[in-house]
């Protein structure tokens, strides 16, 4: 069992790469900011976690709990991302559950980050829909029983964001990430998250808002051979191998 807490207070100023000016984005530009590497990251009870904050206002408290569970509370903060998942991004099937108390600007998403871009499979969000922030609507995708709107956002200098925004918000469910990554690649994504992303997490993100979340994430593998399942369990101490048997 591993418990780690990270607190960022208003007095702490942590660096970020500001979003380039874009008249299409207007006041919503902060929601599509490019990010630096995490302020804190590492292994926690067999999962990879990361926490990043712009700093400079409000307070965010992130806590690693047992297994794939984490909690985060934030109060009038600037931009932050946080969550648990895997050190590598693959087309895995992810199961998640928990509570997500919405701030006006907050996201719950399966998120990948790399030096070349980001991807968001957005499952829940507050009053602000990032699809309205000047991104290009690239069609829809039906996955896991629901339709997602696909957006592409060019942040400049070759840095791209792809968004899948679910029609119908939720705070628990199953996400087949391969369906989304295949769609992004078909639309000209220059980096394949399954090959190039630095990490893949169930992310809670907030900006200029107040809220809290307590979430648990796991990977689903459809394995019928129980002996093989037992063999895999022996490796659960390694980051990135956390499984649920169907």
Q: Give SS3 for 166.
A: strand
CATH number reported for the structural domain that contains residue 110 in this entry: 2.60.120.180
Residue 242 falls inside a structural domain: no
**Tokens matching residue 46:** 């067999």
The total number of structural domains that make up the chain: 1
118 has catalytic annotation:
yes
Question: Domain residues for 22?
Answer: 4-217
What residues contact residue 191 under an 8 Å CB cut-off, 6+ apart? 114, 116, 117, 160, 197
In a domain? residue 186 = yes
> Among 54, 69, 118, 123, which one carries the catalytic annotation?
118
**What's the pLDDT tens digit per position in 196-206?**
899 999 999 99
Is pLDDT of 210 > 90?
Answer: yes
In a domain, 239, yes or no: no
Q: What is the pTM of this model?
A: 0.79
Q: Is residue 133 very low, low, confident or very high in pLDDT (cuts 50, 70, 90)? A: confident
Q: From the centroid of its chain, how far is CA 141?
A: 19
Residue 204 and residue 110 in contact, taking contact as beta carbons nearer than 8 Å: no
82 burial level (CB within 10 Å; 0-12, 13-18, 19+): buried
CA atoms within 13 A on the CB side of 188: 9
219 is catalytic: no
Residue 45 lies in a domain: yes
In a domain, 211, yes or no: yes
pLDDT in tens, 157-198: 888 899 999 999 999 999 999 999 999 999 988 788 888 899
Whether 48 contacts 68, CB under 8 Å: no
Residue 60 covered by a domain: yes
Quick one: CA torsion of 156, 161, 165, 171, rounded to 10 degrees?
-130
Active-site position among 54, 69, 123, 205: 205
The DSSP letter of residue 239 is: T
For 60-104, how does the pLDDT look when each residue is reduced to its tens digit (9 = 90+)? 999 999 999 999 999 988 889 999 999 989 999 999 999 999 878
């Amino acid at each position: 069992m591993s418990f780690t807490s990270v607190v960022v207070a208003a007095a702490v100023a942590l660096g970020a790469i500001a979003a380039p000016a874009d008249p299409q984005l207007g006041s919503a530009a902060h929601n599509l900011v490019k990010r630096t590497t995490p302020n804190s990251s590492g292994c926690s009870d067999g999962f990879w976690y990361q926490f990043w904050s712009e700093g400079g206002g409000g307070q965010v408290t992130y806590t690693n709990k047992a297994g794939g569970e984490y909690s985060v509370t934030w109060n009038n903060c600037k931009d932050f991302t946080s969550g648990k998942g895997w050190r590598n991004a693959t087309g895995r099937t992810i199961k998640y559950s928990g509570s997500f108390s919405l701030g006006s600007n907050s996201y719950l998403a399966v998120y990948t980050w790399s030096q070349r871009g980001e991807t968001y499979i957005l499952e829940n969000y507050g009053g602000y829909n990032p699809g309205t922030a000047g991104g290009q609507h690239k069609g829809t995708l039906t996955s896991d029983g629901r339709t997602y709107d696909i957006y592409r956002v060019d942040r400049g200098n070759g840095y791209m964001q792809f968004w899948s925004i679910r029609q119908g918000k939720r705070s628990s469910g199953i996400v087949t990430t391969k369906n989304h990554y295949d769609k992004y690649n078909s639309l000209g994504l220059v980096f394949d998250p399954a090959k190039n992303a630095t990490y893949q997490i169930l992310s809670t993100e907030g900006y200029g808002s107040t809220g809290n979340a307590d979430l648990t994430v796991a990977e689903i593998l459809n394995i019928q051979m129980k002996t093989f399942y037992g063999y895999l369990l022996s490796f659960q101490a390694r980051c990135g191998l956390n499984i649920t048997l169907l």
